[in-house]
Amino acid sequence: MCNIQPSIGAAHKAFEKQIGVSRVAFYSKINGIEPQVSQALVRYSSEQLAPLIEELGGKQPEILPGYRIKIIDGNNLARYAPNSFQ
């Protein structure tokens, strides 16, 4: 349905013939995508998949009712503020 892959590299490998560019060129293109474009893609995918998730009973209860909660992967925090987490 969404052709979800576990990583960018796996996506390139799975669609290498259709993409028709080298792995380096693929990564270069992805690195140039504006954050707003990625955000819009995630939002669109979420909107499209929400009814399916609900139909299959996969909707999770709210962590803190009335608040929108975001989970941050702590492994990436040092990348944004390298001197703050030492």
Number of structural domains found in the chain: 1
This prediction's pTM: 0.50
**10-62 confidence digits (pLDDT tens):** 999 999 999 899 999 999 988 889 989 989 998 998 899 889 988 998 887 88
DSSP one-letter code for 65: T
Residue 49 within a domain: yes
Contact 16, 26 (CB under 8 A): no
| Containing structural domain, residue 22 | 8-80
| Residue 85 maps to a domain | no
Classify residue 2: in a domain, yes or no. Answer: no
Q: Is residue 46 part of a domain?
A: yes
Q: Does 24 reside within a domain?
A: yes
* HSE of 42, CA atoms in CB hemisphere, 13 A: 6
